[in-house]
């Protein structure tokens, strides 16, 4: 059977941005078709295999008491997290299916031409035509080209790892970026022996040396073995696990592990979409090429979220939906150029949250820089850190010495993922460091640390 559906809007991929546009347009009475290739991914990466399950594991990994068996606690935690994931998956599906003019299809979509997409479901082949099309297919993990890695029976993706109820006794992580560090922190807290391999000379290469060193110290203090300057050369499966061969400083080493997590990044998921048939251009990295309004080389086709390249964060996909909705229902003025001072958070323990320029970037930009920085343990106005028994970390602000403008911040501390939003809002509205320093905050809270940290400018140098 070959059916044909006519729609005002077709959304390919059930991610954060696409579902927001689909819901809004459906409520306006537009005929909307949403296509998702996997029934396990309604709602996109975040609630299913990304933010929600991983942060659930972060929380549960630190709830285990010394006498709780590691494997039992881990199995229980995975079950609880997957139950939350299923609740959110069904909730996302029901939210769209409950709109009268919205149809959700589960199958593989591929362009036939610029306005027509073929959808292959489990038992049908449909053709969907639409006036406007959104591509919101997200990204997929990269497997490094290391001999034996792809074929090893012990290599896992992040999705496979968090869905397994067996806690690996020895876990290797290839990559010291956000994903690698977060998973190293989670699985070490659950009880795994964790070895993290980073090709660069240090982890967190974008951050200033002092922030990266503080993070490294916390991770190493938790028992995570961090191998920097590492060149992994081969993976060999054996009777009781896998052996990883690697070089550092010209010397060869090997380590035996039970599981290998590839955390070398993700690439836009554009395979099998048939973009050429639609005349949609892609970049050299495989991302869908867009302008500042998220329009592709076909003006009626938009790309949102990870698939368009750039930073891969759920909240950017949500902001993408605002840009597209302004094109479809508003004045068409909102664009990516309006997106400034975007914060980021790495959920190690304690979390690292950053926004704006690093000290290095500010100096390279020719700014005259003032630095305010304090170890969390020394911040008198932050008793919450002691109350929750987490005094590790450091808070650092980069300030324009002439205007008192906050240029950037790196907060490695309890509740940093929340404090950074206050800092980012202040930066967007050009609130000075002095104003943020002298504001009144609740007590005891982590935000009131700003009273102390910003009162101490530890050095002022010429750029």
The domain that holds 169 is classified in CATH as 3.50.50.60
Whether 139 has a binding-site annotation, put simply, is: yes
Instruction: Please tell me whether residues 303 and 231 are part of one structural domain.
Output: no
| Domain-embedded: residue 149 | no
The yes-or-no answer on residue 443 being catalytic is yes
pLDDT in tens, 271-305: 999 999 999 999 988 899 999 999 999 999 999 99
- Output the CA torsion 358→363→364→366 (10° steps): 130
Residue among 62, 90, 300, 443 flagged as catalytic: 443
Least confident stretch, 33-47, 182-196, 403-417: 33-47
Instruction: Please tell me whether residues 302 and 390 are part of one structural domain.
Output: no
Instruction: Please tell me whether residues 330 and 356 are part of one structural domain.
Output: no
Whether 390 has a binding-site annotation, put simply, is: no
Instruction: Please tell me whether residues 104 and 229 are part of one structural domain.
Output: no
Domain boundary among 217, 233, 264: 264
Instruction: Please tell me whether residues 59 and 48 are part of one structural domain.
Output: yes
Whether 179 has a binding-site annotation, put simply, is: yes
Whether 158 has a binding-site annotation, put simply, is: no
Instruction: Please tell me whether residues 12 and 119 are part of one structural domain.
Output: yes
Query: Contact at 8 Å (CB) between 382 and 449?
Result: yes
| Domain-embedded: residue 446 | yes
| Domain-embedded: residue 169 | yes
| Domain-embedded: residue 391 | yes
Provide the token pair at 208: 């200033």
pLDDT in tens, 123-172: 889 999 999 999 999 998 889 999 999 999 999 999 999 999 999 999 99
Instruction: Please tell me whether residues 306 and 367 are part of one structural domain.
Output: no
Q: State the total domains in the chain.
A: 3
Residue 39: pLDDT band (50, 70, 90) is: confident
- Output the CA torsion 382→383→384→386 (10° steps): 120
Domain boundary among 338, 353, 378: 338
Instruction: Please tell me whether residues 234 and 90 are part of one structural domain.
Output: no
pLDDT in tens, 101-122: 999 999 999 999 999 999 999 8
Domain boundary among 277, 303, 338: 338
Instruction: Please tell me whether residues 12 and 131 are part of one structural domain.
Output: yes
Instruction: Please tell me whether residues 430 and 443 are part of one structural domain.
Output: yes
Q: Mean per-residue pLDDT for 222-234?
A: 97
| Domain-embedded: residue 145 | no
Instruction: Please tell me whether residues 135 and 276 are part of one structural domain.
Output: yes
Instruction: Please tell me whether residues 36 and 131 are part of one structural domain.
Output: yes
| Domain-embedded: residue 385 | yes
Is the bond leading into 225 cis (omega within 30 degrees of zero)? no
Residue 410 in 3-state DSSP? strand
| Domain extent at residue 222 | 155-264
What is the rounded distance in angstroms from the CA atom of residue 379 to the CA atom of residue 351?
17
Instruction: Look at residues 403, 419, 300 and name the one whose alpha carbon lies nearest to residue 351.
Output: 419
Whether 138 has a binding-site annotation, put simply, is: yes
| Domain-embedded: residue 146 | no
Q: Angle at CA 281, nearest 5°, toward 278 and 286?
A: 115
């Amino acid at each position: 059977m070959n059916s044909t559906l006519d729609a005002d809007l077709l959304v390919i991929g059930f991610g954060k941005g696409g579902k927001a546009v689909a819901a809004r347009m459906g409520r306006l009475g537009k005929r909307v078709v949403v296509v998702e290739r996997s029934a396990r991914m309604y709602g996109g990466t975040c609630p299913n295999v990304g933010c929600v399950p991983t942060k659930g594991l972060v929380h549960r990994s630190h709830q285990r008491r010394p006498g709780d068996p590691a494997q039992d606690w881990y199995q229980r935690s995975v079950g609880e997290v997957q139950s939350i994931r299923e609740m959110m998956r069904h909730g996302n599906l029901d939210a769209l299916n409950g709109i009268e003019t919205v149809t959700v299809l589960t199958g593989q979509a591929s362009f036939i031409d610029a306005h027509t997409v073929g959808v292959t479901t489990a038992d049908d082949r449909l053709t969907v035509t639409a006036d406007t099309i959104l591509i919101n297919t997200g990204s997929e993990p990269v497997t490094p080209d290391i001999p034996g890695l792809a074929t090893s029976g012990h290599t896992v993706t992040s999705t496979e790892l968090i869905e397994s109820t067996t806690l690996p006794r020895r876990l290797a992580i290839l990559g010291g970026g956000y994903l690698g560090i977060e998973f190293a922190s989670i699985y070490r807290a659950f009880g795994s022996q964790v070895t993290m391999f980073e090709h660069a000379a240090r982890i967190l290469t974008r951050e200033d040396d002092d922030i990266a060193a503080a993070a490294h110290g916390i991770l190493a203090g938790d028992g995570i073995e961090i191998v920097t300057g590492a060149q992994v050369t081969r993976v060999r499966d054996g009777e009781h696990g896998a052996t990883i061969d690697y070089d550092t400083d010209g010397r060869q080493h090997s380590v035996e592990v039970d599981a290998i997590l590839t955390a070398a990044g993700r690439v836009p998921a554009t395979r099998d979409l048939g973009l050429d048939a639609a005349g949609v251009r892609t970049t050299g990295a495989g991302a869908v090429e867009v302008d500042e309004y998220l329009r592709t080389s076909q003006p009626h086709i938009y790309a949102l979220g990870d698939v368009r390249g750039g930073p891969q964060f759920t909240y950017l996909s949500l902001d993408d939906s605002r840009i597209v909705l302004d094109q479809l229902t508003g004045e068409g003025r909102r664009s990516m150029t309006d997106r400034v001072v975007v914060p980021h958070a790495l959920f190690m323990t304690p979390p690292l949250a950053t926004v704006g320029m690093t000290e290095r970037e500010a100096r390279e930009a020719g700014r005259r820089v003032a630095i305010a920085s304090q170890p969390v343990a020394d911040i008198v106005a932050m008793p919450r850190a002691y109350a929750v028994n987490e005094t590790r970390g450091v808070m650092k602000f980069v300030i324009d010495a002439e205007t008192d403008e906050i240029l950037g911040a790196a907060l490695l501390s309890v509740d940093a993922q929340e404090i950074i939003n206050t800092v980012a809002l202040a930066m967007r509205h050009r609130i000075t460091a002095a104003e943020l320093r002298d504001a009144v905050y609740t007590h005891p809270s982590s935000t009131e640390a700003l009273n102390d940290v910003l009162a101490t400018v530890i050095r002022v140098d010429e750029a």
